[in-house]
């Protein structure tokens, strides 16, 4: 009788315990990467993902933030003219930056201006930043300034994409 009880206990107890792993962490509600991954349908989420792309030095994450018609604009102080490049050149330049650095720290500061150019679809955001890049050789470069981003999206549920980046840093 006792043997039958043990067998029954192991059989039925096994049914209740079989899906339980006492060494596995408990599942929590919500997104476990909530602080790491920003919601790309919000402006703040776009900036979070941009920072993560730089700090993780992840070109694929960075590329997903750019619109295919992306343009980067900066002022050439030596020639006293504005210069620009497009999507492909920016990806190549960013890829080289990421490959040749051992660490990047990007801190977004206050939003200086935020204008809806087309409600819910096109936005201009001017924001200050601090950037520290540590190269493989150990050299450390620090800069700060402002970015002037033009963000676009197809509809109010889509992710924001960077269409135009005007660098307003004084290097």
- Residue 133, domain CATH: 3.10.450.50
**Is 37 domain-assigned?**
no
Contact by Cβ (8 Å): 20, 14: no
Q: Where are the beta strands (DSSP E) in 31-98?
A: 66-76, 81-86
**Is 12 domain-assigned?**
no
d(CA 87, CA 66) in angstroms, rounded, equals: 8
| Structure confidence at residue 170 as a pLDDT band (50, 70, 90) | confident
**Is 101 domain-assigned?**
yes
pLDDT, residue 100, reads 95
Q: Per-residue pLDDT for 35 more than 60?
A: no
**Is 140 domain-assigned?**
yes
pTM: 0.78
d(CA 16, CA 105) in angstroms, rounded, equals: 49
**Is 160 domain-assigned?**
yes
Q: Where are the beta strands (DSSP E) in 87-139?
A: 101-118, 122-135
**Is 126 domain-assigned?**
yes
| Structure confidence at residue 36 as a pLDDT band (50, 70, 90) | low
Q: Per-residue pLDDT for 4 more than 50?
A: no
**Is 93 domain-assigned?**
yes
- Give the residue numbers spanning the domain of 116: 43-167
Total domains in the chain come to 1
């Amino acid at each position: 009788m006792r043997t039958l009880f043990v067998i029954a206990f192991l059989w039925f107890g096994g049914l209740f315990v079989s899906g339980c792993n006492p060494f596995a962490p408990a599942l929590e509600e919500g997104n476990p990467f909530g602080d790491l991954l920003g919601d790309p349908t919000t402006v703040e989420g776009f900036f979070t993902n941009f920072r993560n792309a730089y700090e993780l030095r992840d070109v694929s994450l960075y590329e997903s933030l750019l619109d295919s018609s992306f343009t980067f604009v900066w002022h050439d102080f030596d020639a006293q003219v504005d210069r620009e490049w497009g999507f492909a050149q920016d990806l190549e330049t960013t890829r080289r930056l990421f490959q040749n650095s051992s660490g990047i720290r990007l801190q977004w500061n206050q939003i200086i201006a935020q204008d809806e150019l087309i409600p819910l679809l096109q936005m201009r955001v001017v924001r200050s930043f601090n950037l520290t890049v540590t190269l493989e050789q150990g050299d450390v470069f620090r800069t700060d300034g402002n970015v002037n981003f033009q963000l676009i999206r197809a509809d109010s549920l889509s992710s924001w994409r960077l269409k135009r980046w005007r660098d307003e840093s004084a290097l």
